[in-house]
Structure 1
Amino acid sequence: MKTTSSLAGILLGVALAANAAPLKTDVAHSSVSAVFKQMDVPVESSFKRFDARIDYDAAHPDKASARVDIDTASFDMGQADYNKEIAKKEWFNSAQFPKATFVSSSIKPAGSNKLTVTGKLTIKGKTAEVSFPLNVKPEGGRQVFEGQLPIKRRAFNVGEGEWQDTSIVADDIVIKFRVAAG
């Protein structure tokens, strides 16, 4: 009897360890974008390159962790001139700060298919603790994580010099994301 229960314990441990492995991001079904107002007109532009590493087990969401690295030079505003401008020192300074990064410190259940995520967001060398709600749902054999993170661009020195003025580009930015992983 003792051997059977030990074997069952080992098998359970192996199964739990297998479920704790990082999920593989399905880039084709994932997106990260920024929504802001330019001259009081809403604009949404996406980052074309990012990497999301998520450890998530629906049975133990409080043990989850996440890290997202975004290539700042991949911000696509739809025009080559705008894309070059946003990579310059006054905006993302992509040459010196090629990545914006989020690393979770806490993920807590917040209701059915909802989590509250807290962690460190670093953009352009500035780091701030942020917290935001996250929706999780199964879809096509994957877990889909969706959320929005409101930030102030000037807190991260995005838009320096003459661009600190918020009459052209608003200070309020919402980072929207959808990460499909399995």
Structure 2
Amino acid sequence: MQALTLITRLSVASALLLGSHVALAQQQLVPAQSEVQFTARQMGVPLDGHFKKFSAQVAFDPAKLATSKITFTVDTGSATLGSRETDAELPKPTWFNVPKFPQATFESTSIKALGGGKFEVAGKLTIKGNAQNVVAPVTLTQSGTVTTAAGSLPIKRLAFKIGENEWADTSMVADDVLVKFKLALTGVGKI
């Protein structure tokens, strides 16, 4: 009888774990409502661009932040500054080196609740094979079935070897780049 009770408890626990895993696996990015932008400065003038292709794998449970995980991937070849000449330069080895490094990735290592729908997401950002630990403040808002994660992340482009050789001169192109993101997700529980 005790063995049957133990098996029943293990079965229920397994079902709950699998059920929560299935619920988390159903979280999906809504690309049409999402965007990843960046602002750089060339000779003091802001240049705004964005990435056209990106994806996210999200397993986020606000009640279980220790087991929540976010992986975000950007296709570096989809970067655009809106100019045919500039866009032709971005995939080259000096900038994103798309043939060798077609993707940039962010993998979370921890998520901390700050209250009021605000979170601090720490993780590893890898661009052109160069990894840096970063922390991004993220604000979550919910409307119907869609949860929007919005935030910004300042980075130093030279830490990732973006703009090498003659473009490493920060008097021409500033080292500071601001990455802004808005990710619309479905399947996230109530925050």
Q: Same fold (TM over 0.5)?
A: yes
Unaligned runs of 5+ in 2: 1-8, 187-191
Write the letter of the residue equivalent to 1:35: T
Among residues 39, 59, 66, which one is paired with 1:62 in the alignment?
A: 66
Write the letter of the residue equivalent to 2:156: K
The range that moved more, 52-61 or 103-112, is 52-61
Whether 1:103 aligns to 2:107 is yes
**TM-aligned CA distance change 1:139 to 1:61, over 3 Å:** farther
Contact 1:85–1:91 under 8 Å retained in 2 = yes
* d(CA) in 1 for partners of 2:181, 2:112: 18
The Cα shift of 1:7 comes to: 9.4
* d(CA) in 1 for partners of 2:150, 2:126: 20
Q: Which residue of 2 aligns with 1:128?
A: 132
Q: Which residue of 1 aligns with 2:44?
A: 40
**Structure 1 moving runs of 4+ over 4 Å:** 5-15
Alignment deviations for residues 113-145 of structure 1 (CA, whole Å, 9 cap, x no partner): 011111111001101111121111112311111
1:77-88, aligned counterparts within 5 Å? 77-88=81-92
Could you say what secondary structure the match of 1:90 adopts? coil
- Percent of aligned positions with the same letter in both sequences? 38
Task: State TM-score, norm by structure 1.
Answer: 0.90
CA RMSD of aligned residues (A): 2.3
**TM-aligned CA distance change 1:157 to 1:14, over 3 Å:** closer
Alignment deviations for residues 22-74 of structure 1 (CA, whole Å, 9 cap, x no partner): 51100000001111111211221000001111111233233221111101110
Unaligned runs of 5+ in 1: none
- Size of the alignment, in residue pairs? 182
